[in-house]
Structures are given as structure tokens and as C-alpha cells.
Amino acid sequence: MNEFNTIIPSGYNNIVVLTGAGISAESGIKTFRASDGLWEQHRIEDVATPEGFAANPQQVYRFYNQRRQHLLGHQIKPNAAHIALAEFERSFKGHFLLVTQNIDNLHERAGSQNVLHMHGELLKSRCIQSGQLLETIRDIDDQSRCQCCNPAKGIRPHIVWFGEMPLFMQQIEQALSQADLFVSIGTSGNVYPAAGFAAQAGLFGATTLELNLDTSANQSVFDYSVQGRATELVPQFFNPHTFTEQKG
């Protein structure tokens, strides 16, 4: 038994989890809106909009090249929260969907299977002409070319910038409509549509829980909100043994 047993009813079959930068913070990846976060050091308009890319592509390539190099550094590893979600998914008998706003690959490295990267992926680029994706572990710039067109065309980071449509929205909305439990982890609730998922799932009848370090912008829409570090809260809540007992 743990504290979550007292606040969360048991017996879920359809779980949707949304993660944000906070789940990767303890792996050494900076969040966006903290006082030392990425958006304190870089203007969103410059590095995370189609207009910024059009105005100064080299600056945008450099920004994501730096993020990619950092992610691939040997010191960056999945933490206890990523691992707990992956272990839970393996043991859970119902439907489990992990939607992440994160562009890192730490969920996959921890072993998560059913993951949707709604804001894109740092280790992929895409052809500006065809949209085809390329695995990318090295730096790219305006001289980099696709492998799908003839003549080869330029490529851009496979990142959803502000003003662009997030990925997999149909799948996500369908999962939210069927969810009986929605859990948001490590996101400040500032960026839509992700910030609207809790209210959406709640309208369809899901229990909604937030696990976050600070008070989020949309805290009031959750049935339950627990504050703390992801590496402590997530393994406690997504404990397959506790869940088996609850469901039994």
C-alpha cells in the first residue's frame, strides 16, 4: 500500500500517460520554463517557429544539433521514472498509451513500447519536400540532404514548432475518449493541445492525476494533483505489484 491507494480508485483498463520535460529533468536534460530552462537562454521565436527557421536556418540547426549531442552524451540515461513506466507497461493487462511532449528518446531507452512523440523526435530529421523521415545522430545543416528525392532536397529537424500541428492527434484523441485513467507527469501545462488533454479525458469520464514538481498552470482541472520529483512519485504510483493488488 502507498499514498496513492488512498486517492486513486482501483480497477483501470485504459490508461493514457502524458509526459513533459520534468520527467527527463533528473536525467540531466533541461526543462523549458525553469529559471535555468531553455527558454531563458533562447528566444522561442528564433529557434522553435517556422518563421525563425526561415529567417536564420543555421541558428535553428545549431540549437537542435546541440540538444542532440547532449542527448547522445554518455551521461544522459533514463531515470527511475522512465523505467517504472516501461516496467508497468510490460506487466499491465489493459491498454496503455504513453504520449510524450519530449523529443528525447529516454522512454524508448527505458523499454517503453507504445510511445507517441507528439512534438517530434530529436534523433530524426525530415525531408523538406516529401516529409520522409531520416534517422539522425550527427549534426545537420543547410547543406544536409535527404535520401528520398532526386535531386536530393534539404532536411529539417523533425520537431513540431510553435504554430505547427502536433503529431498523432487523431490517435491521441481517440485514446483520451476511451481512457479510464489519465496521468500527467512533469509538464507545466502551458502548451496546448497537450495542456487540454486532462480536461478532455475528464469529460469522457477518466480519473485524472497529475504528478509534477511545481504547481502547473492547469492544476485545477485534475481530480488529484501530487507534487514531488518524478523519480520518487512515478515508481510509487506505477508499481505493478500495487496495481495487481488493487485490480484483484
User: Footprint of ligand APR on residues 33-62 (CB under 6 A)?
Assistant: 33-34, 37
Exactly one of 14, 112, 184, 187 binds ligand APR (CB under 6 A); that residue is: 187
CA 77, distance to chain mean position in Å, is 16
Smallest gap, in angstroms, from Cβ of residue 82 to ligand APR? 12
- Catalytic choice (70, 119, 158, 241): 119
User: Footprint of ligand APR on residues 67-126 (CB under 6 A)?
Assistant: 101, 119
Smallest gap, in angstroms, from Cβ of residue 84 to ligand APR? 13
Smallest gap, in angstroms, from Cβ of residue 32 to ligand APR? 3
Smallest gap, in angstroms, from Cβ of residue 149 to ligand APR? 28
Residue 171: other Cβ atoms inside 10 A: 13
C-alpha cell read off for 211: 504528478
Site for ligand APR contains 26 (CB under 6 A): yes
Smallest gap, in angstroms, from Cβ of residue 132 to ligand APR? 23
Q: Is 119 assigned a catalytic role? A: yes
C-alpha cell read off for 47: 529557434
Q: Which is nearer to ligand APR, 146 or 234 (by Cβ)?
A: 234
Site for ligand APR contains 214 (CB under 6 A): yes
Site for ligand APR contains 190 (CB under 6 A): yes
Q: Which residue is nearest to ligand APR (CB)?
A: 22
Site for ligand APR contains 186 (CB under 6 A): yes
Residues binding ligand APR (CB under 6 A): 20-22, 25-26, 31-34, 37, 101, 119, 186-188, 190-191, 212-214, 216, 229-230
- Which positions are catalytic? 119
